A = this chain, B = another copy of it.
Amino acid sequence: MINKNSPVPIYHQLEEYIKHQIENGALVEESVIPSEREYAEMFQISRMTVRQAINNLVSEGYLKRHKGRGTFVTKKKVEQELQGMTSFTEDMLSRGMNPSSILLSFQITIADKKTALALRIKEEDSVYIIKRIRLADGAPMALETAYIPVKIVPGLTEENSNLSLYQYIEENLALSISEATQEIEASTADHLDAETLEINIGDPILLIERISYLQEGIPFELVKSTFRADRYRFIHTMKR
């Protein structure tokens, strides 16, 4: 399980090992994991190295320490779902609704000035522009336009664009998403909004503009959405 000659640090190998154990169910939620001294003995490594691995998992929220009692597997990942709520699909699922979407257009074009600025790319760089109607339980919920730099997410096609972009990025490109900013404003429906969302002109709508960033602070997606105000309210928790 642990390879001391690997260039991958031992503490990191142990982190992955424990994570897998949690995901496999070998380590059960809310229950104690082996003590630091046991891990040290088990893999013939120093206790301090074990502590380094466990420290990282604690700060990632997988484990929780209790002096004198032991280290325990954290119970829920509800928090992490909140973070994942940046995607329409996950948002709807967490509300108990069934999400789907209709692809309106998929194109690759040169970024306009404003988009280039938001995505921190050059104006001559190309971007995917993906337009969709987002449905919840079969009823139109939002009109969405996504702008993604081709340079950062190559190989996106009309087919795979329908899957989870976030999953694609994390699994296929080995990048990970760290942060997103959102700007939310109210407006009223124009002719196009009214038609696609099946509401009347002048009805209230919620405009949400989201920019998502990779761990290095690089923007990889700009999404502009128009939500039906009668069906959608934005919910949000702030900590600290």
Contacts and interface: CB of A to CB of B under 8 A. Distances in A.
Given A179-B240, A204-B204, A237-B179, A184 B184 contact: yes
A146 to B, nearest CB: 17
- Give the interface residue-count category, chain A: 20 to 34
A178 B236 contact: no
Given A182-B238, A183-B233, A202 B202 contact: yes
Interface stretch (A28-36, A127-135, A185-193): A185-193
A183 B80 CA distance: 18
Given A186-B187, A240-B83, A235 B204 contact: no
Interface string A71-112: 000000000100101100000000000000000000000000
Interface in A115-138: none
Given A59-B59, A204-B204, A236 B182 contact: yes
A233 B179 contact: no
21 contacts: A83-B238, A85-B238, A178-B240, A179-B237, A180-B238, A182-B235, A183-B233, A183-B234, A184-B206, A184-B233, A184-B236, A185-B229, A185-B234, A186-B186, A186-B204, A186-B206, A186-B227, A187-B204, A188-B188, A188-B204, A204-B204
Interface of A: 48, 59, 80, 83, 85-86, 178-188, 202-206, 227, 229, 232-240
Given A86-B238, A183-B235, A183-B236, 4 more contacts: A181-B238, A182-B234, A182-B237, A184-B236
